[in-house]
Amino acid sequence: MGEGTLRGAAAIVGVADAVSPTGELDDHGRALEVRVVREALDDAGLTIADVDGLCCSGAPGGLAEHLGLDLAFVEGTFTGGSSFEVHVEHAAAAIAAGLCEVVVGVYAQTPRSDRRQGRQGGTPFPAGPNPILDWEAPHGLAVPVGAYALAASRHMAEFGTTPEQLARIAVDARSWAAANPSARFRDPITVDDVLASPMVASPLHQLDCCLVTDGAGAFVLTSAERANDLARAPAWVLGAATSSRHWMISEMPDLTTTAGAVSGPAAMALAGIKPSDVDVLLAYDSFTITALLHLEDLGFCAKGEGGAFVEDGHVAPGGTLPMNTNGGGLSYTHPGQYGMFLLVEAVRQLRGDAPGLQVDGATIAVAHGAGGFLSTMSTVVLGSEVTR
Amino acid sequence: MSGSAPIEADEASPFWHASRSKVLVLPWCTACERPHWYPRVACPTCLGSDLVWRPASGNGTVYAVSVHHRPGMGRSPNDCPYTVALVDLPEGVRMLANVVDCEPSEVEVGDAVQVSWRPLDDGRHLITFAPTSKAG
């Protein structure tokens, strides 16, 4: 299959998410998965009988059975928070190759209510040998915040990035969240508030860290032929790429450059766009440093200049590069694998029905997922009809 | 300081054995002549499985550092603050370890450090580093 055939071969035609300002949802487990699958299919104007492909970030057999699906395409890749961008990439390629026609992707996790109600939950980390337990945990590395703190430390030492600059990312996320009624936190914060919040793992403070909330989401991806017949405006998959070269932080070759420096340009090249064409950037903000590295690696500013870029107000409401317009993992929701919500917000921005601040006339949105410990990066470029 | 004792996997056995004598050894691939870290069943450069263990100088340079004010798994709040660092060894590998025998906040990127060892209950030692000027 040639590289160009993925562009425009598939579109996201339905999305749903379940998020609450309390951070907790009434449903959990299969009930929550079923709810968002149903809502995403309703949004698309399709039914469960149309579905011949399923994506989830773990063993998909049980979920497929629960939904009563008869599948031609099954995708259970787990790369942490970027899993869902990987799923869109793989599902779009499968649709382009004619393997399937209507693929549903789903995610639900409820760490906040699980903890309060004493339920088993948590991230489905793969079974088997885990070198993190042998070579990082015995040294007391706090997971995951310690890994990101080390990256922030290196970025500061190498480029002079300041705690104030990192804090600005949290402040801007909160400014976006202020307009989103579903967001966990909406009250404005200042750089001083971030710096005055308790230090967790230097140089990262509490407010440099993402939330821990319940949350769920789903998308429906289908072929160009089917997408054109549906009621909602399709969000076309213009490009997608993934790059992965380490898992644990001590194996990351250069802590100031992520695999996004490969996946981002590759996805944009496939889409035929450059960074300045992007109207909305949904860039996984597990921590403030995570989003800063994405800005540099995806080419929105030069390496080392992310701090100055955010300090200039580019990613705030009214800035040149609207970023994490729903409030992000820092202020909207973060159940553990936030990548699903990047896709949902990207689609809504392209349709013009964002729940918070709408970017006027957005035609190109990038969802950039980060998984593990700045590990597996996956970039999806979505576009409205005019970009196809 | 509390902390969970790491298991001793087969592929890491020579490292842990040498740690009983406070000697740092690294795995090298005889096919491509490169060291690697962490210990694996095969060389992560060429997948060669003919590995040998060679002593390291014990010197290092701090590549990145974080003072933890909340404990990671197996540590208690009483252990905080403590310093977690990535340390580059001149042999060409990077290790994650604590920097000890100094004020946690004094450790900076670029600092010279030297291997020291923290005893585990079973006679093995956990690798740590200390500022070179203060290391015995």
What 3-state DSSP class applies to A264? Answer: helix
What one-letter code names the amino acid at A116?
R
The yes-or-no verdict on residue A379 having pLDDT over 70 is yes
Give which of A95, A380, A343 is closest to A263, Cα–Cα. A380
Side chain identity, residue A209: C
CA nearest to B120 within chain A: A138
Query: Tokens 């710096």 label which residue?
Result: A195
Q: Around Cβ A308, how many Cβ atoms within 10 Å?
A: 16
Q: What is the pLDDT of residue B111?
A: 98
Give SS3 for A112: helix
Q: What is the pLDDT of residue A11?
A: 98
Nearest to A250 among B75, B86, B109 (CB): B86
In a domain, B55, yes or no: yes
What are A195's two structure tokens? 């710096």
Closest chain A residue to the Cα of B36, Cα to Cα: A251
* Residue B136 lies inside a defined structural domain of this protein: no
Asked if A140's CB is within 8 angstroms of B96's CB, the reply is no
Q: What is the dihedral of CA A293, A296, A301, A307, to 10 degrees?
A: 30
The residue of chain B with its CA nearest to that of A154 is B64
Provide the Cα torsion A251, B87, B123, B133; round to 10°. 180
Phi, psi of A159 (to 5 degrees): -120, 0
Distance CA A45, CA B92 (A): 57
Give mean pLDDT, residues A337-366. 98
What is the extent of the structural domain holding B17?
10-131
H or E stretch covering B29: strand B25-29
Does residue A1 have a pLDDT over 60?
no
How far lies B83's CA from each of A26, A208, B73, B86, in Å? 40, 19, 14, 10
pTM of the model: 0.96
Domains defined for chain A, CATH in brackets: 3-115+209-387 (3.40.47.10)
Phi-psi region of A382 (alpha: psi -120 to 50; beta: other; left: phi over 0): beta
Average pLDDT, chain A: 96
Give the residue from A202, A146, A177 showing the smallest Cα distance to A341. Answer: A177
Residue B105 included in any domain:
yes
How many CB pairs below 8 A link A and B? 113
A284 is catalytic: yes
Confirm whether A332 is a catalytic residue. yes
Say whether B84 and A198 touch across the interface (CB within 8 A).
no
CATH of the domain at B17: 2.40.50.840
A198 and B108 within 8 Å at the Cβ level: the answer is no
Closest-CA distance of chain A to residue B110, Å:
9
Q: Which of A107, A148, A284, A338 is catalytic?
A: A284
Chain A hits for B95, CB-CB cut-off 8 Å, are 250
**Which of B86, B96, B105 should one mutate to test binding to chain A, selecting the residue with the greatest count of A CBs within 10 A?**
B96
With beta carbons less than 8 A apart as the criterion, state whether A377 and A244 touch.
yes
Q: Which of B84, B94, B106 is most worth mutating to test chain A (most A CB atoms within 10 A of its CB)? A: B84
Q: Is residue B19 part of a domain?
A: yes
pLDDT digits (tens, 9 = 90+) for A3-44: 457 999 999 999 999 999 999 999 999 999 999 999 999 999
pLDDT in tens, A98-129: 999 999 999 999 999 999 999 876 555 566 67
Instruction: Report pLDDT digits (tens) over A73-107.
Output: 999 999 999 999 999 999 999 999 999 999 999 99
In a domain, B60, yes or no: yes
Facing B38 at nearest CB: one of A135, A149, A154: A135
Q: A161 CA to chain B: closest CA distance, Å?
A: 14
In a domain, B5, yes or no: no
**Exposure on the CB side of residue B68, measured as CA atoms within 13 A:** 30
Closest CA to B64 of A66, A235, A159, A342: A159
CB–CB contact A135 B66 (8 Å): no
pLDDT values of chain B reduced to their tens digit, one per residue, 136 residues = 555 678 888 999 999 999 999 999 999 999 999 999 999 999 999 999 999 999 999 999 999 999 999 999 889 999 999 999 999 999 999 999 999 999 999 999 999 999 999 999 999 999 999 999 754 4
Instruction: Identify the pLDDT of residue A2.
Output: 46
Spatial contact of A37 and A106, defined as CB atoms under 8 Å apart: yes
Would the pLDDT of A347 be above 90?
yes
Q: What local confidence, expressed as pLDDT, does residue A122 receive?
A: 55
Q: What percent of chain A has pLDDT over 70?
A: 97
- The answer to whether residue B112 sits within a structural domain is yes
Quick one: pLDDT band at residue A217, thresholds 50, 70, 90? very high
pLDDT band at A231 (very low <50, low <70, confident <90, very high): confident
The whole-number pLDDT of residue A121 equals 66
ipTM here: 0.95
**B73 contact residues in A (CB cutoff 8 A):** 137, 140, 142-143
The answer to whether B26 and B93 have CB atoms below 8 angstroms apart is yes
Residue at token pair 């997608």: A240
The answer to whether A95 and A14 are in contact (CB under 8 A) is: no
Provide the domain count of chain B: 1
Residues in CB range of A153: below 8 A, 6 or more apart:
A202, A203, B64, B65, B66, B109
CB nearest A131 (choices: B5, B38, B67): B38
Has residue B97 been placed in a domain?
yes
Q: Give the torsion through C-alpha atoms of A41, A45, A48, A54, to 10 deg.
A: -50
CA distance B136 to chain A (A): 21
Instruction: Tell me the pLDDT tens digit for each residue of A287-315.
Output: 999 999 999 999 999 999 999 999 999 99
Is residue A368 scored above 50 in pLDDT? yes
Average of pLDDT values for A58-66? 95
Q: Where are the alpha helices (DSSP H) in chain B?
A: 13-19
Asked if residues A368 and A342 have their Cβ atoms less than 8 Å apart, the reply is: yes
